[in-house]
Amino acid sequence: MTSDSDGKLIVWAVDPFREPPDETEELNRSAAWAIHALTHRLARVTKPQVQPLYVSELSTIPGSVLEELRTEGQETLDGIFTRVKIHGLLPFEILKQGTHNRVGQLLRFARHQDADLIVVSTHGRRGLQRWMKGSFTEDLMLQSEIPLLVVNPHWKRVPDFERILFPTDFSEASRLTLDRVTEFAGTLGSRITLFHKVSFDPAPSIEVAFGSYPTYQETYSSGVEACQNQLMDWVELLKRQGHAATYILDTSLVGTAEEAILEEAEKEPGMIAMAAQSGPVSATLLGSLTRKIVRGARTPVWILHPRLGRMNRPQRHPPRRRAA
């Protein structure tokens, strides 16, 4: 790893004003611990800065009110920062919605500041509750070309980002996403675990009765071997690039891909890296599965577009950042 004197800017989309207070405390504390772990690793090779930012739903806020809200928000977050140390922490700021919606305004700010990562919390809501309340995080997933770190408050252990679990379906989009993941892993000094669950389509019983099962079993075994060879090839490539890498091939005939990924992720306090998708929701790895993982994960989930946004991109222009 090489030192990066330009540093990394992390925009933390935080809400210190949400009700009820206990829920707000849990969300913000979980995100703060994730950022603590992330900046601790980044500080070994670069100079991270973290900008806590609240995007108001109002387009205009009187100056005196804005200052009061900024003070109130900072005091709320200070209660967390007394217990959670974050490298390069900047003062809390409030962003007015302006002519964009909240997601658009956040992305506009992050692009202008040349942010490397956006950290956002999610409640992990499902079903009717999620539909009624909507999801700022899921809208952000669809629109952001800047990588996201999504934090669910219901984890059991503080992550250390020692491992990045990367589920793959071997598609071109997955391979492109892996390129971004390896850059991030190199900066953090993390090892990469490739994960694939073999799909299983049970043979119709009538075909089994007529003796087709041995043929089906042979086809399935060949498919498993092909997946294993693909994983081995990718791991070998990563190792040649200087990364610590391994793989897990799940050949279990029970359970879904979502369940298998979440179960594996809970074994170590690292993070999951997933691809996002613009456009209609699909049933592929880039669509609905990513959303399910974000809602159910008890570990941070890193979301990025296969062709857009990366942690180690060169500076496009000097970012306007304030000193800590």
Q: Compute the average pLDDT of residues 97-121.
A: 90
Find the angle CA(238)-CA(241)-CA(242) to the nearest 5 degrees.
95
Report how far residue 266's alpha carbon sits from residue 43's, in angstroms, rounded to the nearest whole number: 26
Cα 150 → chain centroid: 5
Q: What is the mean pLDDT of the chain?
A: 81
Range with lowest mean pLDDT among 83-87, 105-109, 139-143: 139-143
pLDDT at 213: 60
Whether 290 maps to a domain, the answer reads yes
Whether 110 maps to a domain, the answer reads yes
pLDDT at 276: 73
Whether 319 maps to a domain, the answer reads no
Report how far residue 143's alpha carbon sits from residue 259's, in angstroms, rounded to the nearest whole number: 26
DSSP of 255-278, one letter per residue?
A: S-HHHHHHHHHTTSSSEEEEE---
- pLDDT-derived band at 1, boundaries 50, 70, 90: very low
pLDDT: which is higher, 193 or 57: 193
Whether 192 maps to a domain, the answer reads yes
* 3 state DSSP class of 189: coil
pLDDT at 31: 92
Whether 311 maps to a domain, the answer reads no
pLDDT at 245: 97
Whether 13 maps to a domain, the answer reads yes
Find all residues with CB under 8 Å of 40, minimum gap 6, and list them: 87
Percent of the chain topping pLDDT 90: 44
Range with lowest mean pLDDT among 60-74, 130-144, 225-239: 130-144
Q: For position 86, which CATH number holds?
A: 3.40.50.12370
- Quickly count: other Cβ atoms within 10 Å of residue 15's Cβ: 17
* Interval 226-283: pLDDT, tens: 999 999 999 999 999 999 999 999 998 888 899 999 999 988 878 999 887 543 333 3
Whether 134 maps to a domain, the answer reads yes
pLDDT at 30 over 80: yes
pLDDT: which is higher, 180 or 247: 247
Whether 315 maps to a domain, the answer reads no
pLDDT at 167 over 80: yes
pLDDT at 2: 37
Give yes or no for a contact between 311 and 117, defined as CB atoms under 8 angstroms apart.
yes
Range with lowest mean pLDDT among 79-93, 164-178, 271-285: 271-285
Strand partners, 248: 195
Domain that holds residue 23: 4-304
- pLDDT-derived band at 37, boundaries 50, 70, 90: very high
pLDDT at 203 over 70: no
Give residue 123's region: left, alpha or beta (phi > 0; psi -120 to 50). alpha
Find all residues with CB under 8 Å of 320, minimum gap 6, and list them: 112, 113
- pLDDT-derived band at 192, boundaries 50, 70, 90: very high
pLDDT: which is higher, 221 or 265: 265
Quote the tokens at residue 57.
């739903």
Total domains present in the chain:
1
- pLDDT-derived band at 141, boundaries 50, 70, 90: confident
